[in-house]
Amino acid sequence: MRNANPLTSRLLIWSTRRAPWSIRRVVGLVLGSDIACALPKSTILGHPYGIVIHSRTRVGENVTIMQNVTIGERRPGETAGATIGDGTVIGAGAILLGPVQIGVGATVGAGSVVLEDVPPHSTVAGNPARVVRSAEVPSP
């Protein structure tokens, strides 16, 4: 099976998981990204440029993060970070601030500013982000 990530994305994901601090910094500087948490191998970074992710963020499996996404603190010194559920898609230029929970299978629209939790299998958009679509998921 072919990896969906371009080489630069694979390099960035590898550096968050295994690389020494100095190599992580060089890769981050070249790509203009600052990812302080470990990303799972299944993460898809379509365009890995300008991405900033706080160290306390937890990212689930099969998450897609587009360019210029910021996931950070709402106030300096917050002790909790965002939690991104499995199968989530975060659109280009989206901003997630504070200890928000992004539900499994949710979609965050491009340019959205997320300040509150996002329900599973829903789509949010706008500034501030509001639910614009909520999908019913059949139970197993």
pLDDT digits (tens, 9 = 90+) for 74-131: 888 877 889 999 999 999 999 999 999 999 999 999 999 999 999 999 999 999 999 9
The architecture CATH gives domain 7-130: 3 Solenoid (2.160)
Q: Domain residues of the chain, as ranges?
A: 7-130
- Two tokens, residue 139: 């139970």
pLDDT averaged over the chain? 89
Q: What number is the average pLDDT over the span 48-69?
A: 94
Average pLDDT over residues 57-72: 95
pLDDT for residue 22 is more than 90: no
Supply the pLDDT for residue 1: 42
Token match 């371009």: residue? Answer: 6
Provide the 10 A C-beta neighbour count for residue 135. Answer: 12
